Amino acid sequence: RKEVEQDPGPFNVPEGATVAFNCTYSNSASQSFFWYRQDCRKEPKLLMSVYSSGNEDGRFTAQLNRASQYISLLIRDSKLSDSATYLCVVYSGGYQKVTFGTGTKLQVIP
Amino acid sequence: DVKVTQSSRYLVKRTGEKVFLECVQDMDHENMFWYRQDPGLGLRLIYFSYDVKMKEKGDIPEGYSVSREKKERFSLILESASTNQTSMYLCEQGYNEQFFGPGTRLTVL
């Protein structure tokens, strides 16, 4: 089983729709969780951190479910500019324990 | 703003050539990383360094080496480039939050 797994998509959704991605992780000792956004041919950039209590930033909501070992990202009222690949990142402590998911591709359609 | 810069955005090299990829960060941070990113495989860690002159192998170090002579500079070296090293190479610095350079798209012919 991969350490961090994401559905690669693509998720094709109309503008204004709500879309959610999940990311599962295998290491129960994982400590920190993040969502990154990567545009085509660009580097990944931090979108938001994921806290146990949940984290909301405008149209974006991130949740952590430690019992089931997954994190989620919810995007409400999708915009064309949200089209990108969303990477989940799991940090398990130590310098080499940053693990990236392979990403979920989102395409928002007019 | 954190700045991580990489020496080239696009690079084309021939099989057998020695290739240097340079990365410079301005955060005075100890931790620096080199990844390659390939479709369907995601980001894979090649090497990392948590101090000057220190280096540690990541998940896929074969065919690569690194150099960290100064804190702000972390170089990735392909001793003898091969076609399977054609990829996007991303330098990163950070501990919890990660900051990436813009990437170098290397093509080995």
Q: State the average pLDDT over residues B20-46.
A: 91
Separation of alpha carbons A39 and B75, rounded Å: 25
CA atoms within 13 A on the CB side of A53: 0
Chain B residues near residue A49 by CB distance under 8 angstroms: 97
Q: State the average pLDDT over residues A2-26.
A: 94
DSSP-assigned letter for residue A26: S
Q: What is the pLDDT of residue B2?
A: 67
How confident is the model over A57-92, as pLDDT tens digits? 999 999 999 999 999 999 999 999 999 999 999 987
Separation of alpha carbons A13 and A108, rounded Å: 5
Structure tokens at B79: 């001793």
pLDDT grade for B16, boundaries at 50, 70 and 90: very high
The more confidently predicted of residues A36 and B94 is A36
Average predicted confidence (pLDDT) for chain B: 92
Q: Which amino acid is at B90?
A: L
DSSP H helices in chain A: none
Q: What is the pLDDT of residue A88?
A: 94
Q: State the average pLDDT over residues B78-101.
A: 90
Contact A91, A31 (CB under 8 A): yes
Separation of alpha carbons B64 and A47, rounded Å: 31
Q: Percent of chain A beyond pLDDT 90?
A: 75
Q: What is the pLDDT of residue B1?
A: 67
**Does the beta-carbon distance from B98 to A46 stay under 8 Å?**
yes
Closest alpha carbon within chain B to A85: B42
Contact A11, A20 (CB under 8 A): no
